[in-house]
Every structure is written in structure tokens, then in C-alpha cells.
Amino acid sequence: MTAGPLGGVEIVELVGRRAVVARRTRETSVTASVDLDGSGRVSLATGIGFWDHLLGSLGHHGLFDLEIQADGDLAVDEHHTVEDVALVLGSAFSAALGERAGIVRFGDARVPLDESLASVVLDLGGRPYALVDLPFRGERVGKLPLQLVEHALEAFARTAGATLHVSGAGRNDHHLAEAAFKALGRALREASAIDPRRLGVASLKGSLG
């Protein structure tokens, strides 16, 4: 999965490694705030309960302070809201990372949840790509269509400037999706951390992105 930059995004606030980003279209209105050096506090209102649950798992286990407010055309279906939240969240991560100087860059995590096991390996080097293999058995968990999980991860990778590999296995769809987002949070936490030994960017090219 590759894609170009996201249009219509406004950086509302950028202080250190905290960014507030907004995007408004005829389909959705989304504002996302990310503090990379937070403590895992989350406040989420997307109108889709299980989507909030997954995003909360990402923030809590990544130790990111995360706030998301979304108003979408849920009377149509959940697609636009889930996609645009992921796009704006990725944009907020990218803004908070700035020039990405001094970060570890790479992260990986494996998280079990009962019978399910999920793995996330990622690179915050600015190259958007996603490969997702989460073999869900059903169509939905709550109001979230499970086909949108892969789509959301692809959208996040696109605007975050991340190479993202997500895989897992399990018999319970709730457990598998939750384990994947917990692993994503932990991998992002590792990759976005500041390496005290790194004076510049972690690339022989001398730049990321």
C-alpha cells in the first residue's frame, strides 16, 4: 500500500512532541491530539464503540496521551469515520515526530490475548507501506465492520509515514483485533522513543521521510 499526502489537514497546535490535527470534509469532522511523551491517558468519541476500544488500547499500551473527536456520516455506514480517524491520527503522529531526529525509528511487539496472538513490526522512516494479515472469522465486532481494521491500519501507515507489518491468529475476533492494536501501541512507543545515543536521524541518507 502506497499513497500520497492527505489533503485538508490542519495542524491546530504543535508543541514539542504533542500535535493537534484536524480535518473536515462533507463526510466527517475529525480532530486528533497525540502526545508522544504522555502517560496513556485517552479520551475518544468516534461514535463507534469498538473502534474507540481499539484506539484506547493503542494509546494506553503505547503510553501516548490520545484525544479523538469524530463526527461522521454514520447514517451511511462506518467506513468514512473509521478511515478518516485513522488518516488524521496518522497525520498527528507524523506532526508530533517532526523531523524524526533522534528517534529509535524501528519497533516490534508481540501481544497475546487468551487464544489470540498478534505481531507488529514497524519503521517510522517515512516510507508509507502496510501489510496486514489478520484472519478474522466474522463480519463485525459491535458496530465495527472487521474489514475496516485492515483499511484503517493502511490509512494510518500512509499518513504516519510508517512501514507497517501486522499479523496474527486467533479464534475470537475481539481478542485478535485488540491484541493487534495493543501490539501497535507498544511498537510505536518503542520506535518513537528518543535514543540518547542518536545525534541525528537513524539513516545513512541523513534524512527521513
Per-residue model confidence as pLDDT tens digits over 57-114: 999 999 999 999 999 999 999 999 999 999 999 999 999 999 999 999 999 999 999 9
CATH H-level superfamily of 9-192: Imidazole glycerol phosphate dehydratase; domain 1 (3.30.230.40)
Q: What is the pLDDT of residues 8-56, one digit of tens each?
A: 889 999 999 999 999 999 999 999 999 999 999 999 999 999 999 999 9
CA torsion 120-124-129-130 (nearest 10°) is 20
CA distances from 76 to 22, 27, 28, 81 (A): 22, 10, 11, 10
Round to whole Å and give the CA distance between 48 and 95: 25
Contact 148/74 with Cβ under 8 angstroms?
no
Res. 3 pLDDT band, cuts 50 70 90: very low
Average pLDDT for 121-135: 97
Contact 26/34 with Cβ under 8 angstroms?
no
Round to whole Å and give the CA distance between 157 and 170: 24
Contact 32/81 with Cβ under 8 angstroms?
no
Where do the domains of the chain lie? 9-192
